[in-house]
Chain A
């Protein structure tokens, strides 16, 4: 079935560093969603992308919908301790907008 592949699986960075992560698929997606999960909580939507090439920002977060429609990128600038968590990409499986599937996540750790 359709899968979303996220990399890296985990990252260890220093506070203040910029972060880049990506999400790829072997098939085309028409929407890319980025969610963040804080420890012990459910995921929360960060950014939604609906158009190939689209670049959208939410504060220090910037996400892009890849031109090929098979990938998306999330960047975090000047990381802070509250950025710790798991970042998931998600999208509608087989263009079914009622069937949202998630990648396996990128776990972000910030070193003191």
Chain B
């Protein structure tokens, strides 16, 4: 019962470094998305994908890249990390549209940028 798996769970970066947060789901879900959670700000949508080969921007896409080459995986890339990207990142997936279907979230990846 893996569901949505995020790696790493914790990461510390220096300003300017790059890294990729991995997200994989084993539920054959078409829809996947990335959110960031900051204190007092709730969950903000970064990028999402409605299927392999299709991605789109959310509310706060700047500084992040995504791609969706397979149904299972949806990595989030930070090309040049900034302290403002210190946050907890959640990956979520849904069988079809999250409007009609439930979003299943991973356990989160806590990123600190120094």
Q: Is there contact, CB below 8 Å, between B99 and A97?
A: yes
Question: Contacting chain B: which of A42-50, A62-70, A73-81?
Answer: A42-50
Q: Which residues of B contact A45 (CB under 8 A)?
A: 102-103
Q: Which residues of B contact A97 (CB under 8 A)?
A: 97-100
How many positions in chain A have a CB within 8 Å of any CB in the partner chain?
25
Q: Which residues of A contact B99 (CB under 8 A)?
A: 31, 92, 97-98, 100
Q: How far is the CA of A110 from the CA of B43 in the complex (A)?
A: 23
Which chain A residues have a beta carbon within 8 Å of chain B's beta carbons? 1, 6, 9, 31, 35, 40-45, 48, 88, 90, 92-93, 97-105
Which chain B residues have a beta carbon within 8 Å of chain A's beta carbons? 4, 31, 33, 35, 40-45, 48, 50, 56, 58-59, 90, 92, 97-100, 102-103, 105-108
7 A-B pairs with CB atoms under 8 Å apart are A31-B99, A42-B90, A42-B108, A43-B43, A90-B43, A93-B59, A104-B41
